[in-house]
Amino acid sequence: QPTVAIIGRPNVGKSTLFNRLVGKRLALVDDRPGVTRDRREGEASLLGLEFRIIDTAGYEDEDPQTLPGRMRAQTSAALREADAALFLIDARAGVTPLDEEIARWLRSETTPVILAANKAEGKAGESGLLEAYSLGLGEPVPISAEHGEGVVDLFEHLRPHVEREEEDEPEPEDENDRPLKLAIVGRPNAGKSTLINRILEEERLITGPEAGITRDSISIDWEWQSPDGRARPVRLIDTAGMRKKAKVQDKLEKLSVADGRRAVEFAEVVVLLLDATLGLEAQDLRIADYVLQEGRALLIAINKWDVAENHSQLFQGIRAALQEGLSQAPGVPLLAVSAMTGKGLDQLLAAAFEIREVWSRRVSTGQLNRWFEDAIERNPPPAPGGKRIKLRYITQVNTRPPAFVIFGNRLEMLPDSYLRYLTNGMRKELDFGAVPVRISTRTSR
């Protein structure tokens, strides 16, 4: 795993930076006796770059004016493990003799060094930043660990050292062992309660429903026995309409009514239920749009298929109307079901698990940028005023839903239509389908 060691004299802000990069994922303190002292390590995440980080703050000696042998030995050990050293100085204090001593030592080591001038927010750090060039470690990166500034710069300097050229990352846990958080929404009388009852009563349910409360929504946990023989946990997130006839009615009725919006917020996958006898209406499109805006994976199911007529015409009609009315999610999965007879329910659940997988997917930076460069070559961004907008690279900063950041210059001139071009291309060529994909832009140096 790529590793970065934070190095610097006391009080330059090493721990603040460590905490910012590690966030809540604060990990282990290595306490092997004699090897390390108060060593802090964590899993850092910086705009989607994931790496291990070692904070050497614990190696400091009482006397901050010297670089004692032990600190040096310990820091050396960290450095040997590291792919890069992040050397921090205090931009407000300027370069001190101890900084110079550390710099001299780092220059004699083989580990690549990224020099960062911390506390650089505002004007007070400007002269310190200039002084930092004198350390002979290249261009200093101005950051403010406390205020979270300089993140993009830091990212750009660290990226070459810590990026892994790998396959698509495996999911950290087996997705299928984690309950699928599912909400079912739709207009009144679309058949939501009927569907839920049908699922909970008969649909190859291997454990009975358990009602519970997740923060402020109500959920029902159960396991779906999928046709491939696997038991898959599902957590149905309650909507106002759904508990009408639910088995778990008694427990639920006492609780406050959680509305559909809440359910959408807590869900991973949302099924929008249509009524086959009514077709697709404006209200349905509004709900679908809301679900996508919230970044949830959307499935659309046409219910009451048992009483519908002209099946294929109806299906094609709704498909076409969605293409037109829901152009932000071309190809959203459309299924036909009957809550009454149980038709199509296995397919619906299978599709829900499938789309969650896509929604949770992480594309490797390598694959992503190969696609990106190709997409730009095929259709270069415009050059307003004769000056080309420069798009440098793209990184995936999040999953669930997938979110990406493009780094470049003159991005304020980039038309929305170009971002749409990239979003649509990404959907098709990187197989995100109708999953809501978010792309934003950041100016790089």
Residues in binding site for GTP = 8-15, 55-59, 118-121, 186-193, 238-242, 303-306
Which helix (H) or strand (E) element contains residue 105?
A: helix 97-108
Q: Which parts of 360-403 fold into alpha helices (H)?
A: 365-378
DSSP string, 288-317: HHHHHHTT-EEEEEEE-GGG-SSHHHHHHH
Ramachandran angles phi, psi of 165, nearest 5°: -90, 90
Interface segment toward ligand GDP; rule CB under 6 A; list 68-76, 299-307, 391-399, 427-435: 299-307
- Comparing CB distances to ligand GDP, the nearer of 11 and 189 is 189
Q: How far is the CB of 192 from ligand GDP (least distance, A)?
A: 3
DSSP state of 24: G
Interface segment toward ligand GDP; rule CB under 6 A; list 247-255, 262-270, 298-306, 399-407: 298-306
DSSP string, 346-400: HHHHHHHHHHHHHHT----HHHHHHHHHHHHHHSPPP-GGG-PPEEEEEEEEETT
Q: How far is the CB of 344 from ligand GDP (least distance, A)?
A: 9
Q: How far apart are CA 147 and CA 17, in angstroms?
A: 10
Q: How far is the CB of 169 from ligand GDP (least distance, A)?
A: 39
- At 205 the three-state DSSP class reads strand
Residues 332-371 as x/- pattern, contact with ligand GDP by CB under 6 A: ------xxx-------------------------------
Q: How far is the CB of 343 from ligand GDP (least distance, A)?
A: 8
The number of C-alpha atoms within 13 Å of 330 and in the hemisphere containing its C-beta is 10
Type of residue numbered 158: L
Count of CB atoms within 10 A of residue 348's CB? 23
Sequence-separated (6 or more) residues with CB below 8 Å from residue 174: none
Count of CB atoms within 10 A of residue 78's CB? 22
- Comparing CB distances to ligand GDP, the nearer of 157 and 192 is 192
- Comparing CB distances to ligand GDP, the nearer of 189 and 214 is 189
Inter-residue contact 39 to 54 (CB < 8 Å): yes
Residues 216-255 as x/- pattern, contact with ligand GDP by CB under 6 A: -------------------------x--------------
- Comparing CB distances to ligand GDP, the nearer of 229 and 282 is 282
Q: How far is the CB of 195 from ligand GDP (least distance, A)?
A: 6
Which helix (H) or strand (E) element contains residue 442?
A: strand 438-443
Please tell me whether residue 307 binds ligand GDP under the rule CB under 6 A.
yes
Q: How far apart are CA 371 and CA 159, in angstroms?
A: 19
Interface segment toward ligand GDP; rule CB under 6 A; list 224-232, 250-258, 301-309, 390-398: 301-309
Annotated binding site: 8-15, 55-59, 118-121, 186-193, 238-242, 303-306
- Comparing CB distances to ligand GDP, the nearer of 34 and 188 is 188
- Comparing CB distances to ligand GDP, the nearer of 192 and 235 is 192
The residue within the footprint of ligand GDP, chosen from 9, 304, 361, 362 (CB under 6 A), is 304
Residue in 396, 393, 358 with CA at minimum distance from that of residue 376:
393
Q: How far is the CB of 198 from ligand GDP (least distance, A)?
A: 8
Q: How far apart are CA 109 and CA 167, in angstroms?
A: 32
# residues near ligand GDP by CB under 6 A: 16
Inter-residue contact 428 to 407 (CB < 8 Å): no
Q: How far is the CB of 275 from ligand GDP (least distance, A)?
A: 8
Shortest Cβ contact with ligand GDP: which residue? 191
Inter-residue contact 80 to 67 (CB < 8 Å): no
Please tell me whether residue 302 binds ligand GDP under the rule CB under 6 A.
no
Q: How far apart are CA 153 and CA 5, in angstroms?
A: 18
Interface segment toward ligand GDP; rule CB under 6 A; list 46-54, 76-84, 304-312, 388-396: 304-312
- Give bridge partners of residue 405 from the DSSP assignment: 395, 440
Q: How far apart are CA 69 and CA 76, in angstroms?
A: 10
Contacting ligand GDP within 171-210 (CB under 6 A): 186, 188-194
Contacting ligand GDP within 395-434 (CB under 6 A): none
Q: Locate tokens 């792309």: which residue?
A: 439
Q: How far is the CB of 52 from ligand GDP (least distance, A)?
A: 49
Binding residues vs ligand GDP (CB under 6 A): 186, 188-194, 241, 303-304, 306-307, 338-340
